[in-house]
Amino acid sequence: MKTVSVKIGDKVVDGEVIDFETVKEDWSVYKLADGSTIRFKPVVYKIVRTNESNSDGEPIYHIEWSPMMVSNVPAELLKKKPQ
């Protein structure tokens, strides 16, 4: 495993990059008043188990992720592209 430093709050701590397998990634779906539907989910690309622990002794994990959003809008809300 690769050792890295990550920032948690105002503190920089050491940890190890942990390999992982995505078991399930569900979308959150929102129906808007204008008829649009927005789907959103975070996509995790790195997990670091730090050398820090919480008050119960469990390791603190640092997760790096990127948001993914897809929208579906009614035709009447689409604007024509200039040619």
The CA-based dihedral angle spanning residues 72, 76, 79, 80, taken in that order and rounded to the nearest 10 degrees: 110
Q: Residue ranges of the domains in the chain? A: 3-74
**What pLDDT digit, counting tens, does each position of 59-77 carry?**
999 999 999 999 999 999 9
pLDDT at 11 over 90: yes
pTM: 0.77
Read off the pLDDT band of 43 (50, 70, 90). Answer: very high
What lies within 8 Å, CB to CB, of 14 at 6+ separation is 3, 4, 5, 50, 51
